[in-house]
Structure 1
Amino acid sequence: MKTIKIAGVPEHFNLPWHLCMENGEFESVGLDVQWTDVPEGTGKMCQMLKEGETDLAVILTEGIVKDIVNGNPSSILQVYVESPLIWGIHVAAGSAYNSLSDLEHTKTAISRYGSGSHLMAYVNAQNQNWNTEKLQFEIVNTIDGAVDALTNGTADYFMWERFMTKPLVDKGVFRRIADCPTPWPCFVIAVRNEFLENNRQSLALLLEIINSTTTEFKDIPSIDRTLASKYYQKQEDIREWLSLTKWSQKPLEEKVLNKIQNQLFDLKIIDKKGTFAELVKAV
């Protein structure tokens, strides 16, 4: 048995991995896949890759691109979710803020620096023609931390995946005032370079299994009910999310990588750009 440690957010996007593990599909080809839920998100997973705490991560594209350019010895194996991530922009339910323009000079809650919530705050600010050099941040680690920060007023707004945050909107904890979709595919599968060099055959088997599952995922009987139950969602919200979400089984294209790097560079999030060969590897 070859052990492969993999990390990802505890969100609906990653149910295909759990189904493969529960059905024994990895085990049947000699892979002991050990999954770690990382509610802190991309910044934490970048750290885990760097420090060898995980071999693979299902991770936000912009976050891992930034971290590899800044020296994380990892690579992108393929795109996992092709469609954009729809970031909801949330305020506390009782907040006086009612529109995006109200938030221009306020403080945003982020899970950590280098996370998607951090990077997308810049993308949103650029979309609104705000001065990105004047953005203010409050580190909250998790969505629970964001609830505390917005409720207590230590931060004013929080960007997080719209559907996973909707139960908090439905409960009257948050109000969603706008959406900000990523201008690129949202999730990729990243690997530590050292692990890639020594385990190409095992990684090829792993990708073959997960790609087969994501290809057929939407056709699984009652998958909307399963997702709604597991992630505490309303079925109609899950059906809308499924209609907007497209998994991928393909490598990241060079033109897409260039677009991401160009935007991160323009926003001064990275101060140099890596080559396609440095960032993207095949098994």
Structure 2
Amino acid sequence: MASTRPLRVGFVPEHFSTPIHFAKKHYGLDAELIPFLSGTGHMITSLRGGEIDAAIGLTEGWVAALGKSQQSGDQDGGYRLVGTYVETPLCWAISTGANRDEIKTVDSLQSGKIGVSRIGSGSYVMGYVLADQRGWLAPASSEQGSPYADIVVLNTFENLRNAVNSGEADFFMWEHFTSKRYYDNGEIRRIGEIYTPWSSWKIAAATGLVEGDRLDPRVHDLLDKLNLGIKYFNENKEEAVEYISTALDYSEEDAREWLGTVKFPEKTQGVDANVILNTITTLCKAGVLEAGACQAASMITQL
């Protein structure tokens, strides 16, 4: 199982990736870091396709995809959850086009066209969580399917912004601080927000790197170096603000505000099975997964 080739690690190049940058810069993380602008759904495809070895993405995306695999009889799923990267929930901003005056409130989005990055991505899953919280889901006995008129797959954040302005989609959801710059410049308009009912980021490794509860040593090294990157992040907030506001697409003010909302774990190793179970329960309630068909324990490799 062990190899000397550096791991290929997928990540989303946003403010949450700052400890990953510090792990590479200050602690010599021996990995090829591969950015995925279109998010977790794309990383799932790449993990299953053997294009990357591990990835850091959104809890709901990882769980939804593994749950759908279990429902289809595929117990492998292509990856296992091996670590926790962020302990706090994620705030998803709900956005529409700057001049979409007919869209005034979140309730006006019912039966509208939702833009998502990919089927199975966080932006897709949270559309159903929103519908569940708003009471838009049809009863299980109903023949009605989606709570939306259309689910428009648009891949990137830029495409999503363009779509709500052109009318191709009515709204989309993306992380609050990543969206905020485009509210400030008038490109899109914020009409609400929704928080994940779970801690927001998990670390996944391809099943080829997992044997029972044993991991490839390179995955252990990844988790150890992320721990160091997180410790450095917590102790060097000014360097974090400088990096976020210069190398990434955020203002210094937004970077500082974000620092007060996020908590990374002291140890990335391990996943709380109750968090995954809660995620499955919510996704079943929202109609993304089938109740009774998914097992949290088989999604996780505990260290």
TM-score bracket for this pair, using the shorter chain length: over 0.9
> Which residue of 37, 59, 62 maps to 2:60?
62
> Which residue of 204, 221, 225 maps to 1:209?
225
Closer, same or farther: CA 247–221 of 1 in aligned 2, 3 Å: closer
Shift in Å, 1:137: 1.1
Does the Cα contact within 8 Å between 1:66 and 1:270 map onto a contact in 2? yes
CA distance in 2, matches of 1:282, 1:215: 22
Q: What is the RMSD computed on CA atoms of the aligned residues?
A: 1.7
Closer, same or farther: CA 276–102 of 1 in aligned 2, 3 Å: closer
> Which residue of 142, 149, 155 maps to 1:141?
155
Instruction: Using structure 1 for the length normalisation, give the TM-score.
Output: 0.92
Does the Cα contact within 8 Å between 2:80 and 2:301 map onto a contact in 1? yes
Does the Cα contact within 8 Å between 2:10 and 2:34 map onto a contact in 1? yes
1:258 is matched with 277
Equivalent residue letter for 1:186: S
- Is residue 194 of structure 1 aligned with residue 208 of structure 2? yes
Gaps of at least 5 residues in structure 1 are 27-31
Does the Cα contact within 8 Å between 2:18 and 2:243 map onto a contact in 1? no
1:51 is matched with 49
Gaps of at least 5 residues in structure 2 are 70-76, 139-145
Does the Cα contact within 8 Å between 2:22 and 2:232 map onto a contact in 1? no
- Is residue 93 of structure 1 aligned with residue 93 of structure 2? no
Shift in Å, 1:221: 4.9
Equivalent residue letter for 1:235: E
Secondary structure of the corresponding residue to residue 48 of structure 1 = helix
Equivalent residue letter for 2:209: F
> Which residue of 18, 28, 36 maps to 1:25?
28
2:87 is matched with 82
110-119 vs 228-237, greater mean Cα deviation: 228-237
Shift in Å, 1:215: 2.9
CA distance in 2, matches of 1:137, 1:267: 15
Equivalenced residue count is: 278
1:245 is matched with 262
1:233 is matched with 250
Closer, same or farther: CA 221–180 of 1 in aligned 2, 3 Å: closer
Closer, same or farther: CA 19–13 of 1 in aligned 2, 3 Å: same
Does the Cα contact within 8 Å between 2:40 and 2:62 map onto a contact in 1? yes
Secondary structure of the corresponding residue to residue 208 of structure 1 = helix
268-277 vs 11-20, greater mean Cα deviation: 268-277
- Is residue 121 of structure 1 aligned with residue 141 of structure 2? no
Identity, in percent, stands at 29
